[in-house]
Structure 1
Amino acid sequence: MYAIVEIAGQQFKVAKDQRVFVNRMEGKEGDSISFDKVLLTGDGDNITVGAPAIDGALVGAKINRHLKGNKVIVFKKKRRKGYRVKNGHRQALTEILIGDITIDGKKKSDSKKSEPKKEDKKAAPKAAPKKEESKKAAPKKSAKADDLKKIEGAGPKAAEALVNAGVDTFAKLSKKSSEEIKEILTNESSSLAHLDPETWPKQAKLAADGKWDELKQLQDDLNGGKA
């Protein structure tokens, strides 16, 4: 049996007793952890797909060790300006051992869905429109949200942290200072503390104004979101 699960902002195809290297996670060596963002499970010909995640599915794991990845050389140069910068980077990683993959939560979710149907018939039909109104309201919120991953230096996990803090559009991000953005990222996860959002408000302002050509020109001169 295998599963596709989101771990530390990345998606992995995992199976039991598999060792996986992911971005640095909180916890000590030997700690047991679990992940509930299971996007797909497969067991032979039986494949279950989530929307986007499978309700009740869990992937258990254990932290084996914390380590650093191989060194990556980052070289930046500006032509005809005599500007050259060479830096090395070693990504902080965590090795985890995948345990059991369970999808027992499907039965619980099915039973929960069947109970309200009986209450709707006997009790008040007014309760049904409230649920429909809440479902209709949700897409309106998501339609207004912007894809913050278009900001140079902001990955999926950083974008998710900003959305959780209520900063879900380019306009809102452009009004935040780099210090405020840094505080949001640090409070959300220690693994985001290394990010430098100094240019993010400026990038967000150009995106909010629809100046995509100017934004692309700015990002071409950046290195991972840094000036």
Structure 2
Amino acid sequence: MFAIVEIAGLQYKVEQDQKLFVNRLKGDIGGKVSFDKVLLTVNGSTTIGAPAVSGITVDAEIINHLKADKVIIFKKKRRKGYEKKNGHRQSLTQIQITGITGFDAKKEEKKAAPKAKKEAVVAEEAPAAKKSAKKGDDLTIIEGIGPKVAAIFVEAGIKSFADLAKKSKEELEAILDPNGAAYVAMDATTWAQQAQLAADGKMDELQALKDELNGGKS
């Protein structure tokens, strides 16, 4: 198990109990520090952050504050008589990684995810079943009724064969008339009769009646 973490502007690969030197950190020797900008983790599987892996932190203990070896910086310009020599010692902090935490929470999150997904599916299925129950019968089975007429009847509260069977020819035509000349010309004489056969489950008799009709007309 290891992680790639950003500490004081630089990225380090860290493991449990590892000691390393980083740019100077605030805090006293023996103090605890924590870093939450974890860019990648490997713990059986690899997780890449975008940009950081949420929920994972790297904990460490400050062992010492010190300075790195001196680096000589020498500058010279040819034929200008310019020479300059400087030295630099970078301030560092030595830390020891005491733990990489958050993996247990990740495991719990993964375990909970399938359950949440299952509940979401159930939640989706319930409205679908409810919607299906509200949909009613397919009124386009009736000879002379197309999808547009069926939609007009559903909007008027006629959603089943039983609803249609209760309506008279005049009532059905009164529902259709406001929708234009094409609907005024429709003949609803046999629609209630056909609907009653469909409501009673007498599909053979309904088909025999439909074979005798032409566009719903006798």
Instruction: Give TM-score scaled by structure 1 length.
Output: 0.46
Rg bigger for which structure?
2
Instruction: Give TM-score scaled by structure 2 length.
Output: 0.48
